[in-house]
Each structure stands twice: as C-alpha cells, then as structure tokens.
Amino acid sequence: MDPACFLPSHQFRGSALGLDMYKPPAKTGRTEQQQPKAVEPTRIITDPVTGRAYSKGRLLGKGGFARCYEMTDLSSSQTYAVKVIPHSRVAKPHQREKIINEIELHKDLHHKHIVKFSHHFEDLENIYIFLEHCSRKSLAHIWKSRHTLLEPEVRYYLKQIISALKYLHLKNILHRDLKLGNFFINENMELKVGDFGLAARQEPTDQRKKTICGTPNYLAPEVLLRQGHGPESDVWSLGCVMYTLLCGNPPFETSDLKETYKCIKHVTYTLPVFLSIPAKNLLMGILKRNPEDRLTLEEILHHEFFTKGYIPDKLPPSSCVMVPELNPPNPAKSLFVKVTKTLFGKRKSKVKKPPSEERDEISKLVTGLVKTSICRQLSHKTVEGNEVTPLCGQSPSSSPAETVAEEGSRKSVSRSIRGTTTSTSEVFEDCVTASAVIESAVGLLKNCLSTMPPAERNPASLACHEHFIWVSKWVDYSNKYGFGYQLSNRSIGVLFNDGTHMTLSANWKKVHYNLTNSKHFSFPASAVPEQLQEQMGVLQYFASYMEQHLMKGGDLPSIDEAGHLPLLLLQWVKTDQALLMLFSSGTFQVNFYNDHTKIIFSKPDHSCLLTYINRDRNSYTYKLSSIAELGCSPELQYRLKYILKLLLERADS
C-alpha cells in the first residue's frame, strides 16, 4: 500500500504527520481560537513500559497531525526532538498504518547524514517518536535568514545530502519529499536528512507508486504525470534544492499553482546570469524532463561544479544568519588581486590596460557576485561575497579601516588624480578619527549608564528634532571588495578593503574619493579618472542593487544632501550579534541582527541624541541626557550596555 494513497490527488504534504520539524505554524486568516486544538502533552512524559520519564521543553514545530517538542530524558539528560501524534488524529487504520510505516523504515537507517531514530512509545493520549535533536534547526531557517547561499556553502550541504541519498537508494528507499525544511543542521553544522513520512520502498518500474505526493515546487515531472517514483525523482528534487539555495527561490515557483505545474511538466525555468557556468551546467544536467537523461548522484559528485570548486571542510555557526568568511586555497590568484595591483601598483604608468576579455570577465564577476550576495536587512541577509579572497596580508577578521595601501602607491595615485582637469582636491584639518569617535561615545555612555535610575519604559520621544544622516541600507562584501552602504540622504558610499573611500551623490552625478581621512578629491561621475574606473564600477553595482532591491531599514525621513563634502565611514566592526559603523560626523550606528533593531547616536545640535529603531522599523529619538535622568526600558538598557562593551573592546584593540 502506498503510504500516501489516502490523500486526494490535489493535496500535498511535507510528511505523513503533516509536520515540518522546527517550523513555526503558518499564518492564516483564521484566529488562534478557530484553529483545531491538539491535546497538549503533560509537562512530564512517562514511558508506560520502561517507566523512563521525560521533561517536555519548547515547541519546535507543528503541523496538521503532530507537534514536535524538545524533550529531555530526566535520568540521562539526553535531549531529543520528539514528534507527538495524538491518537485522535490517526484514528483511521490507513492513518495509523502510515505512522507505523514511517517508524519501521526510519529505525532501520543508520548514516552520518540521516537524522537518527532513537525509540518510540505511546500512552493513552499520544504516540511519541524520539529523534536526534538538531539544535541549529533546518536549511529552511538558514535560507529564510540568508535567502541565497554562496557556491562553496551549497557544495558543502549538497555533498552531505548526496551521501545520505546514495545510502537510501542503495537500501532501495526513496525519500520522496526532499526540501529545505527536511534537511536539519546539528550543533557541529552537519546536515542530517530527516522526515521519512512519505518515504517508500523502491519497486520495479512496472510496479512503481504513482500517487502524487511531496511539495509542489520540488515535484518531478514524472510524479505530476503519474508515471511513478524512482530514484531519479529524488535527484530532480535535489536540483530544485540546489537552485533554491543559489538563486533565492525554487526554479518553477509562480504565484499560481497550476502555472507552477505547467512549468514543471515543460521544464520551463530561468537560469540567472549571475550563476557560474559550472553551476548552470549542473542544474541543466539534473533538471531534465526524461528521468533517464538526468545525471546520477555519482555523476553529480564528479561534475566540475564539485571537482573544480572550493568545498569548505566545515562552516561556522554564524553562517546560519550571515555570509561566512571562507578561506579557499590559493587566494592570491583572485581576479580582484589583479585589479588591485593594476590600480595601486608602484609602476602604474608602465602597466598595460587589461585585455578586453579580462575586463569583460571582471565586469561579469562583479555583476554576478553582487547579485548573488547582496543583503536585505529585513530578511536577515548579510553579504560577504562568493569565495573569500583576503587582500595581501589581510587577515579575514581585520576590518577594512585597518587595512591600508602602501604609502608609495597612494602617492602615485594621488599625483595621477591631481593631474586630471576635472578633479578638485581638498585637505581637511582637524579630521575626526575612529578612535576619537569611540573615545567620545565611551564617555557619554559610561556617564549615562552610571547615573540613570531604574525604569520600565523609555522617556517621551522628541516630537520634532533636526534630521540627521544615518545608514538605511548596507552591503558587506569585504572578503572581495569592501563595505557599501546607502545613507538617508540617498548617497552611496563604499569603504574599500585598501582603506580608500568612494561616495556617489544622491543624483549619481558627483563622485567623492578619499585616499585617506584627510585627502579628498571630487569629480563628475561622467569623468572618473581611469585609475578609479574599476572601483567606480563596483560602487555603481552596489548602488544599483541597493536602490532596486533593498528596503529601507526604518521609518526615519530621508533628507536632502547638504554640502559638497561626503560623510565618511571611518570604521565598521561586525560581531556575532551586531554591526557597528563609525562616521566622520561623530555619528555612530549599531544594527542588531536577530531582531533588526538599530541604535543611532548623533549630535545635530551638539547635544547627543539617541534614536532607537525597533523591530517594526518605527523610530523614536531621545536626548541622551533625558535617558540619564529618567532611565529607559530594560530592552534599550541591554543594548546600551552591549554597545559600551563593544566600544571598550575597540578602544583597547
């Protein structure tokens, strides 16, 4: 009997239990009171046969048939992910048969990249299935935070999925529901394939199961056409997973389900231009209408996408929410290093322009890397590029402001730019430095936190105040080029990895270039010196993408550009919790990753203002002196203490 045959042909489910583990309930138009209520298990669960007791913890996910809880064995302190299925939900024989099928199949699987089945039991109310607990949730959560992954990350995860699939197929088992939500990540960033609610034994071709089951965006054409399931159907779903991770959405996804099915049946999809050639070729080799024409799992592993591409041995946990800093071999061969040498080499005048083919390659590289990796703050995305290539002698952890070009090279570029007829040059006296901004901020925060009384809420927000410039969008691409940002006055800036800074005015007509904090040049955007064309290209790509695709990070109003001199980003620092940006105006801003709150310190009238942008992107501005006098909410106080700690660490470094 097909485990999914009780479903009507138009219905699809991610598992026999109607559950994506670790997945929060979907929002619908129905109120919580209207939702059918499952019987909540008691706080302590006892196996009626062994007498072993378990403490029920937090809810990990829920679906139509089951809920998944974190549970701890009280005698051994072992933690499990436990599916809890009320008997009332599986009262019909075929429903119970599906659960028995899942248990019998899963408990016989033993592989490094498959979620481990521990044991199961039932009491008067529920059936309990104890599974390996994966603390970092699933690829679906990572995708939700990142939207797109780098090619090395995709290779890392796909290699583990393929390892599990080869094992399953050798045991004549088809998963039949491969999707991001069924790939779980443990504490060590190892992937585990899970949820075998739709899995089935492989049958001879003429006896293959023809029931449509799975997740619509990942269904193979032969499944939709009721031609039966085979291992090739799992390979198809694997291709859809690869596409989704690289491109940000499933290949056949549309707003209309019937149109999606039509696209799948005719294999109609688009390969974005930013994908690498090996990635495109691999996807085209997998997403073939005829199952026999698709690459096998072994052929996929031997494809140049894997054999000629960098695969990390391990990914850092931070990659769950932000782009990781990777260290592929031979970083000195990077194209960007070649560009940097061309721009800032000591013998610039003797260096020939790169051939047109190489210039085209550089242009395509920049286009592709930016499009695949740009961040959108509201969807938790941050960017650091495709494959990390630190500049000469630069450690991955050092910030761009700490990396400076060789003095001789700077002087050479300075003389070259001065020689152009379109540029103007200015030298600023008494320039603000990052250390000065940090020193001032530390003093203000220490004084505020030491004097403020306890309070449960923030003081009244200022109804009207002078507007200030802040960062509304940002792009961290420092492992190849630099850190880009859009200001509230709509100008765009990039602090490059060599310590130079370039700004594009809001109307895209004027460019400001700073060799140092004090040496400034400006020229029309149409007449950028040849020496800076490559940097200008990177800046324009950043600007175009942020303008077209990124959402503003708060409700503060935009302001007109004032004056002809740009606001300089002096230094930026990323921690595992927040991003700190220090500016030449003395303003500094801290963006917190987990809830997208932001705090901005500014001095528009020489009395420090603190602006707090909450998770709903609503902004509130207070005088810092008012907070010191009246106190603030525990939530804001926690952030202020964290910022002070962060600044003190920077001051000591």
Compute CA distances 554 → 315, 557, 559, 566, 617, whole Å.
32, 9, 14, 22, 4
The answer to whether residue 284 sits within a structural domain is yes
Structure confidence by residue, pLDDT tens digits, 349-373 = 444 444 455 445 444 444 443 333 3
Residue 177 annotated as catalytic: yes
pLDDT value at position 480?
76
Asked whether residue 368 is domain-assigned, the answer is: no
Q: Are residues 237 and 162 in the same domain?
A: yes
**Residue 565's pLDDT band (cuts 50, 70, 90):** low
One-letter amino acid at 253 equals E
pLDDT exceeds cutoff 90 at 304: yes
In terms of DSSP bridges, do strands 117-122 and 126-132 run parallel, antiparallel, or are they unpaired? antiparallel
What is the average pLDDT across 85-110? 91
* Same domain, residue pair 143 and 120: no
d(CA 622, CA 607): 11
Query: Is 100 in the same domain as 189?
Result: no
633 pLDDT higher than 80: yes
Angstrom distance (rounded) from CA 95 to CA 77: 33
pLDDT band at 130 (very low <50, low <70, confident <90, very high): very high
Written as six digits, the tokens of 614 are 């909450």
Phi/psi for 254 (5° steps) reads: -135, 175
153 in the same domain as 40: no
Residue ranges of the binding site: 92
Is residue 342, in this structure, part of any structural domain at all? no
Domains of the chain: total: 3
Yes or no: say if 86 and 38 are a contact pair by the CB < 8 Å rule.
Answer: yes
Inter-residue contact 274 to 280 (CB < 8 Å)? no
Q: Which residues contact 91 (CB under 8 A, 6 or more apart)?
A: none
Q: How many CB atoms lie within 10 A of CB 338?
A: 14
Whether the pLDDT of residue 582 is over 60: the answer is yes
- Here the tokens at position 582 are 């220090």
Amino acid code (one letter) for 349: S
Q: Which amino acid is at 185?
A: I
Residue 196 pLDDT > 60, yes or no? yes
Domain match, 556 and 465 both: yes
User: Are 121 and 160 within one domain?
Assistant: no
**Whether residue 163 is found in the same domain as residue 300:** yes
Say which of 2, 108, 123, 177 is annotated catalytic.
177
Per-residue pLDDT tens digits for 587-618: 899 999 888 899 999 875 567 899 999 888 88
Residue 617 has what pLDDT? 83
533 and 559 fall within a common domain? yes
Residue 235: pLDDT over 70: yes
Residues 513 and 644 both lie in one domain: yes
Q: Please report whether residue 16 resides in a domain.
A: no
- Residue by residue, DSSP assigns 545-573 as HHHHHPPPSSSPPP----SSSPPPEEEEE
To the nearest 10°, report the CA torsion of 212, 217, 218, 224.
30
At 645, which helix (H) or strand (E)? helix 634-652
How far apart CA 268 and CA 437 sit, in angstroms, is 54
Please say which residue of 286, 307, 328 terminates a domain.
Answer: 307
98 in a domain, yes or no? yes
Model pLDDT, residue 9? 32
As a whole number of Å, the CA-based R_g of the chain is 28
Q: Which residues of 396-407 are buried (b: 16+ CB within 10 A; e: fewer)?
A: eeebbbebebee
pLDDT tens by residue, 495-542: 988 788 999 888 888 898 887 666 778 888 888 888 888 888 888 888
Can you give the residue range of the structural domain that contains 175?
139-307
CA gap 564, 78 in Å, rounded: 63
The partner residues of 526 in beta bridges, in order of sequence, read none
Q: Which residue has the higher pLDDT, 16 or 120?
A: 120
Annotated binding site for ATP: 92
pLDDT tens, position by position, 237-246: 999 999 999 9
Burial 182-207 (b: 16+ CB within 10 A, else e): bbbbbeebbbbbbbbbbbbebeeeee
Q: Is the pLDDT reported for residue 305 higher than 90? A: yes
The pLDDT confidence band at residue 325, using thresholds 50, 70 and 90, is: confident
Among 104, 132, 160, where does a domain finish?
Answer: 132
Q: How far apart are CA 85 and CA 68, in angstroms?
A: 9
Given this model, what pLDDT does residue 206 score?
Answer: 56
Cα–Cα distance measured from residue 446 to residue 452, given in angstroms and rounded to the nearest whole number: 10
> Which amino acid appears at position 398 of this protein?
S
Asked if residue 27 is part of any domain, the answer here is no
The average pLDDT across 32-48 equals 62
Angle in degrees, CA 182, 186, 192, rounded to 5: 40
Residues 288 and 192 in one domain: yes
Tell me what the mean pLDDT of segment 181-191 comes to: 95
Residue 6 counted as domain residue: no
**pLDDT (tens digit, 9 = 90+) per residue, 379-436?**
223 332 222 233 233 333 333 332 233 334 444 445 455 555 455 544 444 457 888 8
User: Which domain-ending residue is among 244, 276, 307?
Assistant: 307
Residue 305's CB is within 10 A of a number of other CB atoms, namely 23
Do 535 and 559 have their domain in common?
A: yes
Tokens of 645: 């700690």
CATH number for 580: 3.30.1120.30
CA atoms within 13 A on the CB side of 489: 18
Q: CATH number for the domain including 214?
A: 1.10.510.10
73: domain CATH number is 3.30.200.20
Decide if pLDDT at 101 tops 60: yes
Tokens of 383: 């960017």
Looking at residues 22-34, what average pLDDT do you find? Answer: 41
Give the span between the Cα atoms of 20 and 371, in whole angstroms. Answer: 30
Residue 457 has pLDDT above 50, yes or no: yes
- Cα angle 625, 627, 631 (rounded to 5 degrees) comes to 140
Q: What is the mean pLDDT of the chain?
A: 77
291 plus 178 within the same structural domain: yes
Residue 462, Cβ density class (10 Å: 0-12 exposed, 13-18 middle, ≥19 buried): middle
Q: Band of the pLDDT at 194, cuts 50, 70, 90?
A: very high
Distance CA 288, CA 271 (A): 14
Is 345 part of a structural domain of the chain? no
The string over 484-516, giving b where at least 16 C-beta atoms fall within 10 Å of a residue's C-beta and e elsewhere, is bbbbbbbbbbbbbbbbbbbbbbbebebbbbbbb
SS (H, E, C) 137-150: CEHHHHHHHHCCCC
C-alpha 223/C-alpha 237 separation (Å) is 11
Percentage of the chain exceeding pLDDT 70: 71
